[in-house]
Amino acid sequence: LNRIKASGLKLRFCTNETQATREKFVKKLQGMGFDISVAEVTAPAPAACRILKERSLRPHLLVHNDLVPEFAEIDKANPNCVVIGDAAENFTYANLNEAFRVLIGMEKPVLISLGRGRYYKETDGLKLDVGAYMKALEYACDVQAEVVGKPAKTFFESALAEMGVPPQQAIMIGDDIVNDVGGAQQCGMRALQVRTGKYRPCDENHPHVKPDAYVNNLAEAVDIILQQL
Amino acid sequence: LNRIKASGLKLRFCTNETQATREKFVKKLQGMGFDISVAEVTAPAPAACRILKERSLRPHLLVHNDLVPEFAEIDKANPNCVVIGDAAENFTYANLNEAFRVLIGMEKPVLISLGRGRYYKETDGLKLDVGAYMKALEYACDVQAEVVGKPAKTFFESALAEMGVPPQQAIMIGDDIVNDVGGAQQCGMRALQVRTGKYRPCDENHPHVKPDAYVNNLAEAVDIILQQL
């Protein structure tokens, strides 16, 4: 990261993290030694807040407690949409029924989902991600959710707009073949897949997505990018 | 019911009830004055048990506590499928994650769902039905559930087999335009919709399903059937 920043290239961190505010997320990465600030992060919750403001939507929130502060400035009285994130322990039977009732009670239900992930791994095992609960509400209310976050095109476009860079001049580095690589490419960017984290060897035979290149780690991605300047 | 039974016609009760055993279900109806016995009821749980036995499947159950006795004779050790019913309060975050982990851990995940209902009404409000949770697991595991219960063709075929009656000689009476009327018709039966219970006037403009006739109540249905003998 320091080499990229020193080179004068513009940099943006795109995360689908919805279990915590950007503040918490950034603190965690700073603790690991990364030079990163909140202003450099594109995340689903603030992207959703922009949509809510633009369309005068007042959300009923079904999100993680730690994400609630991101919606501090949003009017939540008399809700006319539902925003769902990875609510984890907040995905109770009662909370799901409540979100469902708010949604089905609308003349034209609006469901905004902070991602469409199927599942993820934690130390105590696999967990259903927000996408599964999104599908449950979609089916019950016969509605299609609007997905904010990777791989949504609008999400990458937000990140590009924040940098003031056209997609052809930007490159995405990520470990997720669909959310990172596929999403960025659909937006007109190039994308490198790092063979760390979520990467699986079978990704290299993915039926729809082919990265512009593979790298073994982030440092190798930086080498390639700086060589081509 | 007494008039139908006195006429010598064969009779079968088809329910999608999965929050209780047939014993409990029958007791409730008996308490309301209906002449009904457990042997006359076709319900999703025993239909699922037949499938489990036929295919040597050992289920992980995500069902209502009161339904568990229906699976008493089924081997549940080292599960190789997941059976989901309307688990109600048992639809906890922990239980959903556990069912998901069992399913995703299989080489070829088998998910059997006791119905595909979207939601239903209880005295304290609308509740998400089994179909919504089925969709969540389907999406997370990229699998298609096998649905037992109305409107599944195999479910009506079971009821017909239990009576020893071909579909052309059977008639379904129900209040649900899709699950009762549509399901029975797809199986080759005729079907009457009663204008009680779940019936809504807009059902009469349903885009796909048209009952063979409407009746205002069960007594009127019996009148019509007995007249045509």
The Cα–Cα gap between B226 and B228 comes to 5
Token pair of A103, please? 């949604």
Could you tell me if A179 and A222 lie in one domain?
yes
Q: Residue A121 — pLDDT band, cuts 50, 70, 90?
A: confident
Q: What is the pLDDT of residue B123?
A: 87
Look at residue B136 and tell me if it is in a domain: yes
Could you read off the pLDDT of A55-102 as tens digits, one per residue? 999 999 999 999 999 999 999 999 999 999 999 999 999 999 999 999
CB contact under 8 A, B133 and A138: no
The residue among A116, A147, A178 that closes a domain is: A147
Q: What is the pLDDT of residue B59?
A: 98
Residue B190 lies inside a defined structural domain of this protein:
yes
CB–CB of A139 and B127 under 8 A?
no
Q: Which residue among B97, B126, B135 sits closest to A136, beta carbon to beta carbon?
A: B135
Is the ipTM beyond the 0.85 threshold? yes
The answer to whether position A137 is within a domain reads: yes
Instruction: Say whether both B53 and B143 belong to one domain.
Output: yes
Angular region, A206: left φ>0, alpha ψ -120 to 50, beta rest: beta
C-beta atoms of B119 and A128 within 8 A: no
Same domain, B142 and B171: no
| Range(s) of the domain holding residue B188 | 167-228
Check whether residue B219 and residue B126 sit in a common domain.
no
A24 part of a folded domain: no
Q: What distance in Å separates the CA atoms of residue A226 and residue B221, rounded to the nearest whole number?
A: 80
Locate all alpha helices (DSSP H) within chain A, ordered by sequence.
Answer: 2-7, 22-31, 44-54, 93-104, 130-141, 153-163, 183-186, 218-227
Q: Do A126 and B97 touch (CB under 8 A)?
A: yes
From chain B, pick out residues whose CB is under 8 angstroms from the CB of A133.
Answer: 136
Side-chain half-sphere exposure of B177, counting CA atoms within 13 A: 14
Burial of A160 (0-12, 13-18, 19+ CB in 10 A): buried
Place A198 in a pLDDT band, splitting at 50, 70 and 90: confident
**CB spacing of B93 vs A97 below 8 angstroms:** no
Same domain, A136 and A171: no
- Alpha helices, DSSP H, located in chain B: 2-7, 22-31, 44-54, 93-104, 130-141, 153-163, 183-186, 218-227
CATH classification at residue A208: 3.40.50.1000
At B86, give phi and psi (nearest 5°).
-75, 90
Closest chain A residue to B105, measured at CA: A126
Q: pLDDT tier at A30 (50, 70, 90 boundaries)?
A: very high
Would you state the pLDDT for residue B68? 96
What is A169-181 written as a DSSP string?
Answer: G-EEEES-IIIII
Mean pLDDT, residues A94-118 taken together: 95
- Could you tell me if residue B113 is inside a domain? yes
pLDDT > 90? residue A124: no
Nearest residue in B to A100, CA atom: B128
Q: How far apart are CA A61 and CA A40, in angstroms?
A: 25
Closest CA to B114 of B162, B166, B203, B50: B50
Structure tokens given for A128: 């259903």
DSSP structural state of residue B35 = -
Domain total of chain B: 2
Assess if residue B14 is contained within a domain: no
Claim to verify: residue A62 and residue A119 sit in the same structural domain = yes
CA-CA distance, A184 to A172, in Å (whole number)? 6
Least CA distance to A102: which residue of chain B? B126
Q: Do residue A128 and residue A187 come from a single domain?
A: no
CB of A208 closer than 8 Å to CB of A182: yes
Report d(CA B141, CA A132) in Å as an integer.
9
Q: What gap in Å lies between CA A98 and CA A93, rounded to an integer?
A: 9
- Shortest distance between the Cα of A144 and any Cα of chain B, in A, equals 13
Q: For residue A22, which of A40, A11, A38 has the smallest C-alpha distance?
A: A38
Residues A131 and A185 in one domain: no
Residue B12 Cα, gap to closest chain A Cα (Å): 30
User: Could you list the pLDDT tens digit for every one of the 229 residues in chain B?
Assistant: 889 999 999 999 999 989 999 999 999 999 999 999 999 999 999 999 999 999 999 999 999 999 999 999 999 999 999 999 999 999 999 999 999 999 999 999 999 999 999 998 888 889 999 999 999 999 999 999 999 999 999 899 989 999 999 999 999 999 999 999 999 999 999 999 999 988 989 999 999 999 999 999 999 999 999 998 7
Confidence of residue A122 (pLDDT cuts 50, 70, 90): confident
- What is the mean pLDDT of the segment spanning A34-47? 94
Contact A91/B88, CB-based, under 8 Å? no
